[in-house]
Every structure is written in structure tokens, then in C-alpha cells.
Chains A and B, each alone.
Chain A
């Protein structure tokens, strides 16, 4: 649905070349919610602008909906919806007029019908004749989302859709993204809200001028941290002896000992390749060694851990290169 090959965009500023996007190779599948994560200034918005044909690439190629960027730009723009970083509404015009203008520009056959449909879908029907400038941030964002969907695009670019929204408005927007996923649309979601990416995205790409990593959140966790089982032991357990008992098992990659802290007993964090198959043997070995087990769970690193680890590794790599 979206494909890029060595897509690059460089800008000139004060005689210096700034590489906003460098050699981006990417493939986003049909019907997928793809999270594009990166810090501020990473080049996420530039990438969206390139894919939505608002700006042209310095080099490389890209296809959206099977159409090549630079060769069928008007057709690409007609087949994508874009929610820009800022809602960018006509503040003196009513919600209805805002949508009607865009429905006409996108060439909708039933302008009135589409406008009414999205005013209702996004809960703006009762305020349809109100000036957009008087809306709350959440309502403005909803109106901007409606504007992006009026022409029923199969591909939707959402650039920081919940930034600066209160939790309730952010939840509404996230629910609507879920609705769009249900409709089979391909969604390219730029965000630095990791919780949002975790909840919504099938796959994520971590990006900072270059693509650092791309996969499902779980696969990235496994690639970075492996899989780990946490065994919560009864207070007073002999942590070194129990660690010794599992250390020698063939499935065990590594063992970390976590001494008791206030309100929590000692723990062993055991690196495994397949916890579901290997946990029974681990538990048996610990009991045989006299350990008391309170409960066992898999250690799940947050997406924040994954993201920070990738970004830091990337920084270190560039630092080394320099």
C-alpha cells in the first residue's frame, strides 16, 4: 500500500545540507496500522509530506496505493487522507462549511451526504453550524479527522493525532482510529506517544532521519531484550542458591538476582528462548532446590524501553561513526 526505496529529502539551510529523511526503505501493508515513532525533529512530518506528495523527494522513490510519487501526484492526493500536525481549520467558517469546501475539492459526488455522515460519526452534528474557531481542541481535531476522511481514502496519514489533547479527547480519537482500522483502511500514524503506538499499531518503525528498526512491538522487544521469566520467591529464600539451581539448565540464557525490596520478595529474572515450554522445568528445579514460589510471570518491557534503547543505540552508533 505504501512502499519507499531509498527515499530521501535534504534541505539547504545557511549553506548547510540538512538531511531530514535519509535512505528510507519501508513497506506498509494494506489494512495495517503502522506507527512511525521518533523524537521531535526526526523527520516524521517530512516523510508524511513526501508520501502525501506535498513536497518532492531529493532522491529515492515511493509508491502510495500503487501510484508512484512524482508521477501521479494529484491521483495520490485524491486517494489519501491527511490529518496534519495542527488542525488547520477555517476558524470563521462553520463546521459544515469547513467540510463542504474539502468535500468539493476532493471531488465527492454526494457532498452533502458525506458531510452529514462525518458530522454525525464524529459527534459534531449538534454544532454543525457553529464557527470552528469556537471549538475546543478535541472538537477541532475531530473536525480535522472528518475532513481527512470525507472522500473515503484507503490510506490515511495521521500526524500526531492526539498531541495537545486532554485524555478524554485523546481516547475519542484513538477509538476512531480503531474504527478506521475496522474499515480496512491503511493508517500511517506518526507519534511520539508510545502508549498510543502500543495500543493501536500492528507494526512500528522507529525513525530518526533514518529507519532504525521496524517490526511488531513484541518482535522488537524480543530482538532487544529476548524473553524473560520472572519468578517471585517467598521472603527469606536463598537467592544465590536458587540462581545456581537454574543456571545450569540447558534452556537458560542468563539469570539475574533481584534482592527483596520493601513490599516485595526476592526475584529471579531468567532469560529463556521459549518461556511457555521451558517454565515448567524452571519451576521444578527451583522447588527441588527448596525454593518457595509465590508466582511466575513473563517480564514484558514497555515500548518506551524498546524505543529508548533503539534511539540510544542509534545515537551511540552515529557518535561512534563521527
Chain B
């Protein structure tokens, strides 16, 4: 356990000194909190016309929004959709940390001395994985908490606020966020093993957010309804992907493979 903590400590010391990584870790979550809050504020203040309501009819068929008046429905719908952006944090933050951590070590050739220590590859991988995953989960949870704190003052009614605390978001935060983080860490490792440029690794790794866009665009286009079941299904898909990615990540993260096959 001590060795894992040492690896996490070392990774975080390096992140603290890497302005590029630090900016992603701090800036992206702030942006993701700001966007739904701004939407919430705007939607609470603008008038809603009949034509607006007609366009949103499909979304309003979502039982989640039943019993809400038009302003409440619009505010909760838009804010809920943008809340999906919170799920980008457990993807982007770990991918960035893992990419810079592993490719950075390849560039400075510091992986070999590290591999020469008595630490097992499993502990080393776990240490590096946790160092990337913890900030990803923490930023998602802290951002959600921050959103809930500020949203309390921007919602037009308690009924809207209750939507941000319903089971759908608990599934997203407590189940989907950790699963997405595991996915991102392993994608970071896999991508890092094939490139020697941290920016390229980060950009390639960032493609992982594309499937998540279905949850963002789907409700707006009307072909997906945001509810607990949607997130449970997403979590199941993420779990399957995680099993495959963890297998590949562990296979790639072996002493001999790193020293002789990584580019």
C-alpha cells in the first residue's frame, strides 16, 4: 500500500508542476459547472412561447418533467441536458493525467528506473491509475456539489431542484462516473503506449468523449430520454468496455512490454 501511495504522491507532485495538465484539471471542471448554471439562469428569466413549447413537446413527454409548468420544464430540461457534460470530467481529466504521466515518463526515460524498483507492475499500474482516476472522480463530484449549491438560488421552484437530486443523477454520479474513470485511465494507458508525444496522446485519448455525446445530443434531438434507466444502460455498456480495456491495459503495462515494445 505504501508503494502505491508513493506513486500517487509522485504523480500528483508532477501534475502540480505541469501547467498544461493543471489547466485541464482545473479549467474544464469550472467550465462544465458554469455552462449548466448559466443555462439555468437564462432559462429562468426568458419567456417561453407556445412555439418553444411545441418544439420541446417530445422532451416534455419524459415522465421526469410531468407536472411542471412551462418555465419549470424548460429550466429543468436544459439544465439536465447540460449536466451530462459533468460526465466528461471523469473522462477528460484522467486521460490527460495518464497521457502526460506515461508519455512524459517515456520522454524522460524515467520509467526504466521506476520499473527497476521492487514494486510490482500491478501496484505500479494501480498507483498510476488511481493518481489519474481520483482527480477525475473528485472533480465530477465536487462540480456536481458546486452546481447543486449555486442552482439552489437559480431554480424557479423546488420541483426543478428536485430533478437535479433524483435517482438518475445518483446513478450517474455514483455508478457511471467511476466506470467512465476506469475507462479513461485505461484508454490513457493504451494510447500512451503507442505514442511518444503527450499532446497526441491526450488528443487521441480525448476521442473517448465521443460516445458520451449521444447522451448530450440524444435528448435534444428527442431520440433519448434522460432517466435512471438510460444511465443504468450506459453504466452497463461502460462496464463491458471497462472489462475489455482493463484487460488490454494490464496486458500492455508489463515490464518487458514497456521496455521492449512501447514506441
Give the interface of A toward B (CB within 8 A).
Answer: 11, 49, 52, 54-56, 74-75, 77-78, 80, 82, 84, 86-93, 97, 101-102, 104-107, 144, 147-148
Contacts and interface: CB of A to CB of B under 8 A. Distances in A.
A89 B9 CA distance: 16
Contacts of B110: 88-90
Contacts of A107: 118
Given A104-B2, A105-B3, A144 B113 contact: yes
Given A89-B108, A144-B113, A55 B17 contact: no
A106 B115 CA distance: 11
A54 B116 contact: yes
A142 B127 CA distance: 27
Given A92-B18, A101-B6, A78 B118 contact: yes
A11 B114 CA distance: 23
Given A49-B259, A105-B118, A106-B118, A147 B14 contact: no
Given A55-B259, A88-B112, A106 B14 contact: no
A84 B118 contact: no
List the 10 closest pairs (A to B, CB-CB), nearest first: A92-B17, A88-B110, A78-B118, A105-B117, A86-B109, A104-B6, A88-B109, A55-B256, A82-B116, A77-B118
A102 B119 CA distance: 10
Given A88-B113, A107-B118, 18 more contacts: A54-B112, A54-B116, A55-B256, A55-B260, A56-B256, A77-B118, A80-B116, A88-B108, A88-B114, A90-B10, A90-B14, A93-B14, A93-B17, A97-B13, A101-B10, A102-B113, A105-B117, A148-B113
B119 A90 contact: no
Contacts of B112: 54, 84, 86, 88
Interface of B: 2-3, 6-7, 9-10, 13-14, 17-18, 108-120, 255-256, 259-260
23 contacts: A54-B255, A54-B256, A55-B259, A75-B118, A77-B118, A80-B116, A82-B113, A84-B109, A86-B112, A88-B111, A88-B113, A90-B10, A90-B13, A90-B14, A90-B110, A92-B17, A97-B10, A101-B6, A101-B9, A102-B117, A105-B118, A107-B118, A148-B113
B6 A105 contact: yes
A106 B117 contact: yes
Contacts of B3: 104-105
B17 to A, nearest CB: 4
Contacts of B120: 74
A77 B13 CA distance: 25
Nearest to A49: B259
A19 B154 CA distance: 70
Contacts of A49: 259
A102 B10 CA distance: 10
A114 to B, nearest CB: 14
A91 B117 CA distance: 19
Contact of A77 (B14, B111, B117, B259): B117
A23 B61 CA distance: 75
B97 to A, nearest CB: 14
Contacts of A144: 113
